Each structure stands twice: as structure tokens, then as C-alpha cells.
Amino acid sequence: MRTVAAIIPCKDEADRIAATVEAVLRLDGVDRVVVVDDGSSDTTAAAAHGAGADVIRHARNAGKAAALETGVRHLRELESVGGSGALDAGDAHSPRHLLFVDGDLEGSASNLHVLLPPVLQGRADMTIATLPPQSTRGGGRGFVVRLARDGIERLTGWTATQPLSGMRCLTAEAFDAASPLAPGWGVEVGLTVDVLGAGLLIEEVPCELQHRVSGKDWRGQLHRAKQYRDVWRALTRRRVRKALTERAPGVAHRF
Ligand SMILES: O=c1ccn([C@@H]2O[C@H](COP(=O)(O)OP(=O)(O)O[C@H]3O[C@H](CO)[C@@H](O)[C@H](O)[C@H]3O)[C@@H](O)[C@H]2O)c(=O)[nH]1
Ligand SMILES: O=C(O)[C@H](O)COP(=O)(O)O
């Protein structure tokens, strides 16, 4: 049985991370959980460690994409030092599949198991969870989601139901196709465009997840403004790269 390593980027999730880690560790097929504490000012790292995760910390906040990259780098280092060479138990020559999980899912993370079979069985290179209506009402008006969905569609022809969903299971090949990741909140859009651009397959999978939604207050709106900026940057970079690939292939890799 091939196994999957989970990476959980988190900032200030001390109240939620232990329940999330415990639920992910119980998932069939997941044998390691790496939590990246992205410069939290609370006790996120200690709570994650206490729940059984490998924990690595950013001294300063660097954003979600950087936290995911740190997690994957740490995982690969851990496993090459440990002797398994970033390989899984079932196939001595394949790098690990990855499961990206947000830190605020708590017990609902136990429903993430549906993301694994399409990837483990080779039907998809990346699965993306789609979430049901959330029990707490959010304060968004759909601006970021529309920017992301329309941008992905224009670049790839594929329509994402929930383009910002960060709960994803992916092969090492899919991760490497999107590396370096688009910074900050651009990471999901970058992953989707790059994975499709590499000719790999994506499947969306409904998943009963509940997370902390951003509200209508100024914090929520500031968060959305940053999401908008990062998604716009990720899309713009990829539009430039695509145009250059068509017109000046020699320089396109620099973008
Ligand atoms: O600087 C940061 C900020 C957040 N996080 C973590 O990233 C995850 C997602 O952040 P969250 O605050 O929950 O963002 P939301 O806006 O609620 O998230 C939605 O939108 C994001 C993209 O904009 C996706 O990454 C998420 O999966 C999706 O649920 C959580 O584990 C956070 O703790 C970091 O690691 N570093
Ligand atoms: O609250 C949300 O759903 C996200 O922050 C995205 O914001 P949006 O509703 O403006 O797209």
C-alpha cells in the first residue's frame, strides 16, 4: 500500500491544530503529518507536537505557499536521512504522494480520506476537496473566487468549482510541476494552472469539511484584499509565461 504524507501549514491555530492533526493521523494511508508553524504568536507548534506531528517552525511569517514548500523540503530531508530516501514503503522508486491540509479543519479532517483513492489508484495526479455550505456564514462577495475561477479557465479551459480550496492530494510529480509555488494565497491557483499545464489530471471531490470562515469585519476584508492581490499575481505571471512560451520559448522559463 502506497502511503501519503500530510503537510499542514498554519499560523495561530493553537485552538484547532491538535484536533486537525489527530484526525489526519487516523486517516487510512497517511503515515506522517508535518506541521509548519508559519511564525505563529501562539502555542500552535507545541499543540501540534503534542498531537503527534513532526513540527517545523518559520521564525517569521512567510505565507502559506512558503510554509507548504518548507513542509515538503523538510519531509524529503527527514526521509532521506531516515534511510527511505523520500520514498514510500510500497514502491522503492517513487517519491511520496502529498496531502495538503489547512490547520483549522479540526475533526472534520477525518473526511479527507476521499481525496486519496483517485491519486493512489493513478486516476488523478491531484484531487481537490470541494466543501459543503459552512455552518458559519462568511462575509465574502465572491470577488476572489471569481477572479481565480475565470483566470484558471482562461489559461487552461478548465472550470474549477472551488478554485481556492487548499485541501489537495497530489503526486510528487504534480508538486514538482508547480514548483516554485506561487507565493502566498496564489498557491492554489498556481498549482491548478501548472499541474494542468504539465498535462496532468485534476479531479474535484466533494468532502464534508468545516473550517473557520473569514467574516465581514475589517480583518476579513483585509484578508480578501491580500488573497485578491496574490491570486492576481499568480495569474498574471502565468499569462506572461504562456504568451512568452508561444512567442519566445527560450526566455519563458524565467517567468
Ligand atoms: O500566513 C499564513 C496564513 C495562514 N496560514 C495557514 O494557511 C491555512 C489557510 O488559511 P485560512 O486563514 O484558513 O484561509 P481561508 O481564506 O479561510 O482559506 C481559503 O482560501 C485559501 C486561499 O486563499 C486556501 O489556502 C484555503 O485552503 C481556503 O480554505 C491555515 O491552516 C492557516 O493557518 C499560513 O500557513 N500562513
Ligand atoms: O470568504 C471567502 O470565501 C474568501 O475569502 C474569498 O472571498 P470572496 O468571497 O471575495 O471571493
pLDDT digits 0-9 by tens, 166-203: 999 999 999 999 999 999 999 999 999 999 999 999 99
**Which residue among 11, 72, 209 has the greatest number of ligand 1 atoms within 8 angstroms of its CB, and so is best to mutate?**
11
Residue nearest atom 25 of ligand 1, based on CA coordinates: 166
ipTM: 0.97
Q: What secondary structure does DSSP assign to the chain, as a single string?
A: ---EEEEEEESS-TTTHHHHHHHHHTSTTEEEEEEEEES-SSSHHHHHHHTT-EEEEESS---HHHHHHHHHHHHHHHHHHTTSTTB-SS-TTSBPEEEE--TT-GGGGGGGGGGHHHHHTTS-SEEEEEPPPPSS-----SHHHHHHHHHHHHHHSPPPSSTT---EEE-HHHHHHTPSPPSGGGHHHHHHHHHHHTT--EEEEE-----PPP-SSHHHHHHHHHHHHHHHHHHHHHHHHHHHHHH-HHHHTT-
Q: What residues does each domain of the chain span? A: 4-141+161-213
How far is the CA of 143 from the CAs of 193, 218, 226, 232, in angstroms?
A: 19, 16, 12, 11
Q: What residue type is assigned to position 93 of the chain?
A: H
Spatial contact of 119 and 169, defined as CB atoms under 8 Å apart: yes
Looking at the predicted structure, is the pLDDT value of residue 89 above 50? no
Query: How confident is residue 248, by pLDDT bands cut at 50, 70 and 90?
Result: confident
Q: How far is the CA of 212 from the centre of ligand 2 (A)?
A: 12
Q: How far is the CA of 89 from the centre of ligand 1 (A)?
A: 31
As its CATH architecture, domain 4-141+161-213 has Alpha-Beta Complex (3.90)
Query: How confident is residue 85, by pLDDT bands cut at 50, 70 and 90?
Result: very low
Residue nearest atom 6 of ligand 1, based on CA coordinates: 10
Determine what percent of the chain is predicted with pLDDT higher than 90. 82
Query: How confident is residue 254, by pLDDT bands cut at 50, 70 and 90?
Result: low
